[in-house]
Amino acid sequence: MANILVIATHNRKKAGEMVQILQARFPSLEVRTLADYPSAPEPEETGTTYAENAAIKSESAVLATGEWCVADDAGLEVDGLDGAPGLYSKRFGGEDLPFPEKMALILNALEGLPLASRRARFRCCVAFSAPGVLTETFEATCEGSIADGPRGKGGFGYDPIFLPDDAPGRAMAELTALDKHQISHRGKVLAMFAEALPSLTGIGNL
């Protein structure tokens, strides 16, 4: 019987990215999402760090599913905004505010500021939880800057205004999925998690 790993998110685009990355790394794993568990709750993210919020989500999913669970929490940190929106990236300007309008708030706030103020990074923390096992967390960043305006049709969230250093001249939303996974904060941290997963589960031939 296949081992099961649940991606603890109700965000379909984020889940799709994480499933694609982890299924490619572990083809023998059955990778599911919370869409497979309709009764799984959406826990309140009350943590004061990305790691705390990721752990809240992964531990809640373990209680709901009884399976190995992995969750992430991520944010965009803009130097000219003192690290905002950061931990509150999803709720920036109001939880129901569409991302094009959230991006417009950032672009307007940076208008007229020095170029150094546009330096930014995506930060992502992943938490792994399993029944009877202490939660483990991993963190990675993707350094870059904020564009003058939205570019590209790919990705999601703030991707259209983020110019990663590792893809000069292109916004995150202009990258192919494969290219994005190679350099993004989520791709980097999931690679770290994937390296550790066999030892975390005690199963060496995943």
Supply the residues annotated as catalytic.
Answer: 73
Cα 155 from Cα 175, distance rounded (Å) = 8
Residue 171: CB atoms within 10 Å: 23
